[in-house]
Amino acid sequence: MAIDASHIWHPYSAMHSALPVFHVDSAAGVRLRLSDGREIIDGMASWWCVIHGYNHPRLNGAIETQLAQMAHVMFGGLTHAPAIRLVERLVELTPSNLSAVFLSDSGSVAVEVAMKLALQYWHAAGRAHKQRFATLRNGYHGDTFGAMSVCDPVTGMHSLFSSVLAKQHFVERPGCRYGEACNDADLDPLQRLFERKHDQIAAMVLEPIVQGAGGMYFYSADYLRRVRELCDRYDILLIADEIATGFGRSGELFACEHAAIEPDIMCLGKALTGGYLSLAATLASEQVSNTIDAGSPGVFMHGPTFMGNPLACAVALESLNLLREGDWRQQVQRIERGLRAGLAPCRDLPSVREVRTLGAIGVVELHEPVDMARISNNFVEAGVWIRPFGRLVYLMPAYVMQDDDLARLCAALVEVVARQPA
């Protein structure tokens, strides 16, 4: 731990931070075992990706089997069965118009790839002046430079870099919540932007239904439907960032399904491998891929060194098998019921502004930002791992979490939040 404190940068942290860091020795199911012997229930699924729980025998087995064959081989000019089978499954599961799959290393890179696809598409179509992106305020799409440019420039985490980022077009997120109809006033800001700037805009980038790290906000499926219509009307591609919402988290396999729409490009990551290895995918329509192929230079200009890593592809394929066989929908509905009941007492707390749930996502929004050092210690002392940010204390547990553990997790959250100042 002394070495950690002296030499390791943790996410969004100073080198010599006062924030506590807890040493994990092992993990199994939904529990983390700390080096001091304590076990804590993980309410975060390691930033939302460990949907089947830790140390799953079938996911372990998939990696072990693949490791005996090869751990890695370059994807340039070579291919292998794990990538082929995984891509086949992704094309089967995702919206029917998505037929071309680009594998990469992380969610941020998947967004970079999506943005490059959109730019290269319009260049190949003879409309290279379409070089900007439209997006919603309070969105989050990653920490690399292209992805940062479509994160909220005010409430986001990247204002330090605003002077060097590409300038994109932002509109207010819709006021219509999930389950509500969308009216013209909700759509007017986007429609006015498209009317004025459609000749500049390559694509609309958004997180469908659920805005994740930008605010854990759930918006209307009707709004998403109407965004798809506007993109079609003004000849703008639609990029759906499903990195956080993909693979059942919102209650549908992909959040676009709440609105029954098909994006032109979709980004996937996080839960793709069940949290075992970093892997992401960007899927595009045949129109997008064919246009890029037919234009200059006739190839898509991207190629990560570890693209299509066999270990990651093998475990991702097995994770998708577990989803299919384990009735993920019933699991997520059960989690949603548990979150709704378990977090309900927070509505009566003076420090709480709002409580909201959707699928396997439970959010408690406070009036004031939390003290991260204090609240992190409080949660661990209560036997749970919950990692808030800003004013948001939220849960995204593994789908396999049983009802008693979910109840204990929610009770701990309520107990700790009850101590927060109003």
Residues classed as catalytic = 12, 140, 241, 270
Q: In what order do the strands lie in the sheet with 39-42?
A: 24-28, 31-34, 39-42, 384-385
Residue 170, H or E segment: strand 169-171
Place of tokens 């003004």: 234
| Distance in angstroms (rounded) separating the CA atoms of residues 393 and 415 | 12
Cα within 13 Å of Cα(200), Cβ side: 11
One-letter amino acid for residue 44 of the chain: M
| Distance in angstroms (rounded) separating the CA atoms of residues 378 and 415 | 9
Cα-based distances in Å from 9 to 6, 36, 46, 75: 9, 22, 18, 31
What is the gyration radius of the CA atoms in the chain, in angstroms? Answer: 21
DSSP state of 281: E
Cα-based distances in Å from 184 to 192, 198, 326: 11, 19, 41
